[in-house]
Structure 1
């Protein structure tokens, strides 16, 4: 297998995982009592849950759609990075360091993988 093919596989696998966890899942579950209570438990107002869901869905679409390029994709990566770090900090501050704090860090590592592979791909196309 060629290096570019491996890069594409890693990129698309990591990006689809981000899309599912940060775009599809919030779109389908943000209105549930578990999600509402989860945001409330962390001390955030309910409108923040709605705002976060809208931006997560838009960011996930920006990452998954191939025609989205450049700054829009960069802002989506940056936004998700802030969300993952903030989720870890919020859960740690409220409940102590544990599974709820670790999960956003796992997603953050997958996000970084997607970001690095994205740049490998665009660097190959600009050579």
Structure 2
């Protein structure tokens, strides 16, 4: 049980910190602004995505018994990271740039798996 909690919190905190850091960069870094232009997205999408990532981070890390809310956050992040990989692939970015969001999909799936083990599945005592 302790190992499951450790894996869950480690992956969840890595995802949460990455979400906050990227949201901050989306709002303040000129290179990130140019990255969104390179991908063909309008400027307002960058701001919207930053706000959504901050909210998702809070909901992901916040303790809650609302399983449906947590699953919705996981689904939203899954689509966000998956869409990022597709967007980078479509404009011909490097393979490492395409694979980075997929790395976060893997972390997300690990976090979700251990969330399910800890919260959703019945525990044996």
SS at 1:30 equivalent: helix
Residues 63-88 of structure 1, C-alpha deviations (whole Å, 9 max, x = no match): 10113632211111000000111011
RMSD: 1.7
Residues 27-59 of structure 1, C-alpha deviations (whole Å, 9 max, x = no match): 321121011111110000000001111111111
Identify which of 3, 6, 10 aligns with 1:9: 6
Could you tell me whether the CA contact under 8 Å between 1:19 and 1:60 is conserved in 2?
yes
Gaps of 5+ in 1: none
Change (3 A) 1:5 1:124: farther
Residues 4-36 of structure 1, C-alpha deviations (whole Å, 9 max, x = no match): 1110000000000110112x1123211210111
Q: Does 1:112 align with 2:114?
A: no
Query: How many aligned positions are there?
Result: 123
Separation in 2, partners of 1:125, 1:57: 32
Q: Does 1:92 align with 2:89?
A: yes
Separation in 2, partners of 1:68, 1:84: 25
Separation in 1, partners of 2:60, 2:118: 14
Q: Does 1:26 align with 2:36?
A: no
SS at 1:95 equivalent: coil
Q: Name 2:77's counterpart in structure 1.
A: 80
* TM-score normalized with structure 2 length: 0.91
* TM-score normalized with structure 1 length: 0.90
